[in-house]
Amino acid sequence: MKAKPNILIVDDHPEIRNSVARYLTRNGMSVRTAEDAVEMDRQIGASEPDLIILDVMMPGENGLSACARLHESNDIPVLLLTALDGENDILSGFQKGADDYMSKPFNPPELLARIQAILRRAQSPNRSENASNKIKLAGKKLRFGGVTYDVDARVVERQDGRMEVLTSGEANLLSVLIHHARETLSREDLLMMSAGRVPGPFDRTIDNQVSRLRKKLEPDVLRPRLISTVRNGGYTLSCDVDVLP
């Protein structure tokens, strides 16, 4: 990670903008702020940031719409910040191209940790290739490793023809893995991105969810070939993802 990352905070509440800006500045980051999507565009035009913290509930163009538009035109990582915290809201954020999602009120050290995790991923050699291949999931049917996945119905058709229905938690996790296909994600990052929380001590949530996903996806759970474990790293979806016509 470079010495002083450039962060753009977009939020219509000045007290949130200013307090987050002060906190990140104290922690070695260069920070600019914007009150809405129009000012965000001006700031990006003047100097492209390394990461955007983007509020969802804004007047004018909301954060989800702005995130989708950003995803179409560039590869700036986006962390959504919102008062919404339902699983459907989290999944919607990732479908719009967000890299992570935090609910208000939030803990500033956790925000800092998430920013640092996103910036590390953004600087990985696979980032540009993966970002150019990101898939808008809503309404799609996908195919990867011989498996067909109906995103809206959360239904998987395995190679052997068996149909499996994913829980919302499993679908959120699979969505993150699909967006980052062939990229290794740590357990911490996976939990943050799929469930919006930081793992506690001895937290096995991601391991358990991966185990359940493998049972629904893999021909042989003892020799998984779709979701691979990376030693001292985490997990990766180790195949390409195609959108079916």
pTM comes to: 0.56
Whether 147 and 108 map to the same domain: the answer is no
Q: Residue 173 sits in a domain of what CATH number?
A: 1.10.10.10
Domain count of the fold of the chain: 2
- Cross-sheet strand order for the sheet of 30-34: 30-34, 6-10, 51-55, 78-82, 100-103
- Give the pLDDT of residue 106: 86
196: confidence class by pLDDT, cuts 50, 70, 90: low
- Give the pLDDT of residue 53: 96
- Residue 134 falls inside a structural domain: no
Cβ contact 115:79 at 8 Å: yes
- Give the pLDDT of residue 26: 95
Residue 53: domain span: 6-123
- Give the pLDDT of residue 240: 93
Query: Given phi > 0 = left and psi -120 to 50 = alpha, else beta, which region is 162?
Result: beta
